[in-house]
Chain A
Amino acid sequence: MPSPFELVSASIIVFLCISLVSAILANHQQFLVKLSNALSAAACLLAAFGGFLTVLSGSVETFILPIGLPDMPFYMRLDALSGFFISIVGLLGFFVSVYSIGYLKGFLGRRSVAPLLVFYNIFLAGMLLVLLSDDAYFFMISWELMAVSSFFLVFFEDEKVPNRRAAFIYVLIAHVGAVLILLSFGIMAGFAAGFESFHGYTFSAMRMAEMPAVWASIAFILAFAGFAAKAGIIPLHVWLPEAHPAAPSNVSALMSGVMLKTAVYGIIRVGFDMMGTPQWWWGGLVLALGLVSAVLGILYALMQSDIKRLLAYSSVENIGIIFIAVGLAMVFAYMKLGTLAALAMAAALYHMLNHAVFKGLLFMGAGAVLHATHERSMEALGGLIHKMKWTAPLFLAGCLSASALPPFNGFVSEWLIFQSFLLTPALPGRLLNLLIPLGAAALALTVALAARGFVKVFGITFLGQWRGRHDTHVAEVDWPMRAGMIMAALSCLLLGIFPNHVIGWLDAVPMSLVGGGIGETAKASGWLWLTPVAAERASYSAPLVFVWLVLVIGVLYFIFRARGVSIRRAPAWDCGFEKMTNRMQYTATSMSMPTRRIFGFAFSIREAVTVVSRRGSSLFPEKYLYRLKVRDHIWNFAYKPVSEASFWIARRVGKLQHGRIQIYLLYSFITLVVLLVFS
């Protein structure tokens, strides 16, 4: 029996081999799609199994890879925390790889899929390496591997201008973030072994380091900012709604479902593991930014009419929710409330697992819609439930999970976060005491708005009548795509119905980080009841909710079946209005109109109606043109000045450039003279 570490490293080697093979076999596209994705799926299973076993046993394995710079080998470590994230990567990677067997067929004959497959596998390997690395040097290399490979994936359909722009913004912000992380590691390494020595670069040395509080805070802030840029926390989220829709859907599923989680992994690793005990205001900061991201993320999501953009903004929201739980865990850990910290941490981890599965499912569903209709805008979709009989219910399962409705999985983790809010005792510091009720309020608002958003996504895309001008031929997607989505949807349901088993499994992670766990208390009243603290405090039984719903619906249905009263089909009544056309339906824009009006202050909205008339007189209008442009304020306030300033500087500096060799030689000469004078 190989050890979990061997399983995970074997899968990494397999990924790298597949990417090599994909480059070699670029001429056999059809064969390549099947082979490469099947192998990736197998490797993902291997990694997921390794991660699962690590968390189950709570074991720690370390390994030193004797390559790298002289005297600086790569350190690797597999503990419960990284094992948990590895199993998420493996699980979703498996679903998505199976799905890709069908999805990538859509590109055949149009463009070569070889680059996609090469970088897809490097991307997966990069994420696993990030989670395994145990020194700053190896971590940064893996981090860059992950960032650069995903850059090429976003860049895949490079003939479209928005995609190129998205990839550029993505790589820019990813690198700003990477620099901040590097600086933070520099500070920690400096205090670990002095600034003269190189031996502080391992994480184990940083764990031992004694840091003054000020420097610890600076290091944490730097790392937090760097990781938040990767996670898409507002105001560093601008790349996310551009990059996720631009990437092919299987990649968007992985980016949203898993890659964002590696950033959360980084924050937990630095905040809980490497820094020892967090300061109270770190938790407050994480919590506050999480709240902002959750509320604004879902509000921006509501405004979108492009399915994939909407899902991308919803990822901002969910990352915000995860940050809320992580922030709470930090506050509790500072106050030495072991059980509460464990509860909040378990909620964060559970939500990460849930979000990976349901967001992966939703992006796969959006990909299926895109594959079948070649349309991403909801305004031109509709009525797909009649044509895509499999995708529709699977996508609905994802929507129910994302809206946190029982008995699906999203509900359980958000329920746990609410419980941690309600269990909060009086905290030191008036600001924190204020933040807890405000946080609960913002989270409640987010959950309700999410349901609104997903009613819109599902209702406009799959229900009603086709909204496009021409009724194109739409067919259900093929079996590999369905299989990927079916497995993800089933996981959504199972993760929702058996929370005790999941919490019992992941309990090793809070145990190792905050020194407490809720696995024992959670199942104290039996596997049927989830009681995070005590049965008198709160209880929830997902299996019973599920059984009750199935039972009542089944019984009612069979009573009516037995009576055999007929059902007649007739044209829709609609209050007696006649001649309804599909253009009279509600659209994505009109669905979100009340939100635009109520929360209008959060956006910059430009709305214009122009009357087009043939005779030039407005008395005989031919048609009305309605233009709507909604942007978030953050782009205008934070990014536009920076980008304009850098262009301004670039233009000034550009004046030095003449293209004449004599002038460049003169520059060199002047530089040398100046250096000689001052040396």
Chain B
Amino acid sequence: MIRQYYPILIESLQVVLVLLGGPLLVGWVRMLKCWTQGRRSAGLLQPMRDVTKLFVKETVLAENASWIFRSAPYVVFGATLMAGAIIPVVSADLPLAATADIIALVSIFALARFFTALAGLDTGTAFGGMGTSREMMVSSLAEPAVLMSVFTVSLVSHSTSLSFMVHELTTVQFILRPSLAFALLAFILIAIAETGRIPVDNPSTHLELTMIHEAMLLEYSGRHLALIEWASMMKLFLFASLGIALFLPWGIAGIDDPAMLPIALVAIVIKLGLIGVFIVLVETGLAKMRIFRVAEFLGMAFLLASLGMLSYFILE
């Protein structure tokens, strides 16, 4: 009986994990950041409190906003949650993982971004357009780099389906491959850009010269803002999990392996915790780049990822 419903249980567990994990990871990063900067932190649960507060607040819409502006938060949230149902976090046994393989996953994130970008233009303000223009510049360079980086992994694992990739990578004996090293480096660079962290973007700035992602969201308030904020927290969590699933999958429970689950849970918490430490070290150590340096940064990521795929074809 339980065996029959096991995949569905795992899927539900996964969705709950993603929904809660996003704010918790962001809370952890902020907490660490406060400590490294010698401030007192607001606690692990503060992002969750922020989101709940936004949900009960009144929503104010700009006069010129159309239905695009109002529907964008829902699309962004729906698409991000869909990605959350696909990326294996604790177990590869996800029935929904077959819905979208890794290429479709990148496109689902692109769908969310497409609507955020349109929402930025919708109100007809100067900052909204600026945010859209910059965000699309970053993404038009980051997205191909993401694709190239995951392609390398899928060439190694002979699949583009995430749960099969994880299964393949965990069961096959580990070999150090130069292509994967390139892909990992590129992935780290892009994950920083895609989730809007320093040195590419700063999620806590509202300074016109430096905003990218935030500039598009300036006009949002209330539950719309809550949905978008929650989705962007989930996105950070998902990119971290995606990196883990592709490059450090050891510990994720394989297909039909419920006994691994507790270990998998502990493993993911440790890995995400370490990723949080890494993010904080980068963010405290580096300053935000000038906007046109970002292009060079992402161009480098794209080149690295392409080199990874090239070295797979030439060397391996």
Question: A residues engaging B (CB < 8 A)?
Answer: 382-383, 385-386, 392, 396, 400, 403-406, 411, 415, 418-419, 421-422, 426, 433-434, 436-438, 440-441, 444-445, 447-449, 451-452, 455-456, 458-460, 463-465, 529, 535-541, 544-545, 548-549, 552-553, 556-557, 560, 565-575, 577, 580, 582, 584-586, 590-595, 597-598
Contact = CB atoms under 8 A, between A and B. Distances in A.
B107 interface: yes
B161 A539 contact: yes
Contacts of B62: 569-573
Given A448-B141, A594-B295, A463 B99 contact: no
A400 B107 CA distance: 11
Given A463-B66, A553-B75, A447 B148 contact: no
A590 B129 contact: yes
A143 to B, nearest CB: 37
Interface residues of B, number: 86
A17 B101 CA distance: 51
B180 interface: no
A433 to B, nearest CB: 5
Nearest to B134: A594
A133 to B, nearest CB: 39
Nearest to A547: B99
B96 A544 contact: yes
Given A549-B75, A552-B81, A574-B125, A422 B155 contact: yes
Contact of A438 (B110, B299, B306): B306
B160 A441 contact: no
Given A548-B82, A553-B71, A540 B126 contact: no
Q: Top 5 closest A-B pairs, CB basis?
A: A586-B129, A464-B124, A444-B144, A459-B121, A552-B78
A548 B78 contact: yes
Interface stretch (B26-34, B216-224, B237-245, B261-269): B216-224
A290 to B, nearest CB: 17
A545 B82 contact: yes
Interface in B260-316: 291-292, 295, 299, 302, 305-306, 309-310, 312-314
A41 to B, nearest CB: 31
Given A406-B100, A580-B126, A556 B133 contact: no
A580 B154 CA distance: 49
B104 interface: yes
Given A537-B159, A548-B99, A590-B133, A449 B121 contact: no
25 contacts: A385-B122, A396-B68, A406-B100, A418-B103, A433-B313, A441-B309, A447-B147, A448-B143, A537-B164, A538-B160, A541-B99, A545-B99, A545-B108, A548-B99, A553-B74, A553-B75, A568-B59, A574-B218, A575-B206, A577-B126, A584-B126, A585-B125, A586-B129, A590-B129, A594-B133
Contacts, number: 267
Contacts of A403: 110, 114
B100 A452 contact: no
Contacts of B139: 448, 451-452
A448 B123 CA distance: 24
Contact of A437 (B60, B141, B158, B310): B310
A585 B160 contact: no
Contact of B292 (A396, A447, A553, A597): A597
Nearest to B208: A575
Nearest to A407: B111
Nearest to A584: B126
Nearest to B207: A575
A386 B100 contact: no
Contacts of B159: 536-538
Given A565-B223, A594-B133, A540 B99 contact: yes
B52 interface: no
A444 B298 CA distance: 14
A452 B136 contact: yes
Given A452-B136, A545-B104, A570-B63, A444 B148 contact: yes
A540 B101 contact: yes
Contacts of A447: 143-144, 147
Interface string B58-94: 1111111011100100110111011001000000000
Contacts of B123: 464, 572, 574
Interface string B195-212: 000000000001010000
Contacts of A592: 133
Contacts of A464: 64, 121-124, 129
Given A465-B124, A574-B126, A568 B161 contact: no
B63 A571 contact: yes
Contacts of A567: 58-61, 222
Contacts of B121: 455, 459-460, 463-464, 586
Contacts of B101: 538-540
Nearest to B311: A437
Given A548-B85, A572-B63, A573-B219, 17 more contacts: A418-B103, A418-B151, A441-B306, A444-B147, A447-B147, A448-B140, A463-B68, A463-B118, A535-B161, A538-B101, A539-B98, A541-B99, A565-B222, A584-B126, A586-B130, A594-B295, A597-B295
A410 to B, nearest CB: 10
Contacts of A411: 104, 107
Given A406-B108, A447-B143, A440 B60 contact: no
A464 B130 CA distance: 13
Contact of A538 (B58, B161, B295): B161
B61 to A, nearest CB: 5
Contacts of A449: 140
Contacts of A571: 62-63
Contact of B136 (A451, A465, A537, A584): A451
B193 interface: no
A538 B62 CA distance: 43
Contacts of A440: 147-148, 151, 309
